[in-house]
Amino acid sequence: MDDYLRALLLGLLQALSEFLPISSSGHLLLAGTVLGDDAQSLTFDVGLHAGTTAAVLVYFWRDWRTILGAVARDGVRHRARVRRWGSASRLGLWIALGTLPAVVVGLLAGDTIEAELRQAWLVAVLLIGFAVPLAAGERATVRRSGIEQVGAGHALAIGAAQAVALLPGVSRSGITISAARRLGFDRATATRFSFLLSAPAIVAAATLSFADVLLGDEVVAWGPLLAGAVVSAVAGGAVIHWLLRYVRTGTLWPFVWYRIALGLAVLTIAAVRVT
């Protein structure tokens, strides 16, 4: 397949599966079996991560400007007296706190996950299995509304859920939205915090991909890389915008059923191939 066409398809797939609760790593792994092993190359890995990084940073640029400015002001004015910090600066602190579990798990088990757990049948099982917490989140009672209601304990719990999403097939957005819903947050708040919390992890993934380019021997096709980045960035911004609007009135049940249907389809195909 032409590299530019592959970049277009993978860029769209990355944008949809990164921000919808359906697992980007799982979908890209499955895409590799359809589009060929080249879909796992550094060219596409770097381009897709760069695109989704741009999407989540640019879409929420006003939020990031407010949060970073508030952290800088309150950090100088009040230092470690966090109780005196404003809501925006505390949110920045909670995002940093919620990022720690994924950092720790990534450092301790990232290589093992990458080497041992990237198998189609396991992705299928996790797609089905982690449809359960997504469904449970839909049944949770809403007790909190508004991102200013997020506290340190909430952020750490949601961050711990995000660490589980290092497993391909889990879905970072799916598991963090589910965790926030179980903590009593409404869909809109859970989804917005999920996206803000995802930014450091997505930036870290993009940075590691670029490091692999600089340190590795693989020849990178910069044209397809740029094409994949642009497509995933533009489509990613559109998906973020759509989902934030959708969750105001819509439920996440369609994504629950999609995960189960895709997982069953992959397991069926794997069973047929074995027999």
Q: How far apart are CA 13 and CA 157, in angstroms?
A: 29
How many domains does one find in the chain? Answer: 1
Tokens of 112: 């093992």
Domain hosting 152: range is: 3-274
Residue 189 pLDDT level (bands cut at 50, 70, 90): very high
Instruction: Give the pLDDT of residue 37.
Output: 58
Separation of CA 180 from chain center: 15
Reported pTM = 0.92
Mean pLDDT, the chain, as a whole number? 90
Residue 36 pLDDT level (bands cut at 50, 70, 90): low
Residue 111 pLDDT level (bands cut at 50, 70, 90): confident
Instruction: Give the pLDDT of residue 211.
Output: 81
Across the chain, how many H-helices and E-strands are there?
12, 0
State the burial class of residue 65 (Cβ atoms within 10 Å of its Cβ: 0-12, 13-18, 19+). exposed
pLDDT in tens, 193-222: 999 999 998 998 888 878 877 777 777 788
